[in-house]
Structure 1
Amino acid sequence: MGIVKISDQLHEEIRKASTTMVRSINSQSEYWIKIGMLAELNPTMTYAEIIKQQLAHANVTVGENLHE
């Protein structure tokens, strides 16, 4: 594990987002880093497509039989 230096302003935004998303500050940071990396590697994909792809890679069944 390493230390990443970020601005106080960005840290504050991560803190607020982590509260809203019910994640730790570290988890929120990791999430944004991963999504950003995937977006750079897949510039034609939307955010929703990236999430759907990641859920499929994890074998998560989304939307099927959720209302039963």
Structure 2
Amino acid sequence: MGIVNIDDELHDQLRKASVVSVRSINAQAAFWLKIGMLAEMNPTMSFNEIVERELRAAGVVTQRIRAA
């Protein structure tokens, strides 16, 4: 494990996003890093497709919400 240096503005955005996502700042940073890496490795997939694939790989059963 190491230290990653980021600028103050990005750290502020990270802190705010972690509150909304109910994650620690470190967990939010790890999420962004992982999703960013997966997005670079899979440029044709959308954010939602990447998250859905990762949830499925973790054994989470997802259902699509149908419009009323």
Q: Tell me the TM-score normalised to structure 1 length.
A: 0.89
Structure 1 unaligned spans of 5+:
none
The separation in 2 between residues aligned to 1:60 and 1:51, in whole angstroms, is 11
Count of aligned residue pairs for this structure pair: 64
Q: Give 1:23-62 correspondences, 5 Å limit.
A: 23-62=23-62
* Runs of 4+ more than 6 Å apart: none
What CA distance in whole angstroms lies between the structure 2 residues aligned with 1:48 and 1:54?
10
Residues in 1 aligned to 2:37 and 2:5: alpha-carbon distance in whole angstroms: 18
Instruction: Tell me the TM-score normalised to structure 2 length.
Output: 0.89
Gaps of 5+ in 2: none
Question: What is the identity, as a one-letter code, of the residue corresponding to 1:23?
Answer: R
Structure 1 vs Structure 2 CA RMSD: 1.2
Identity %: 55
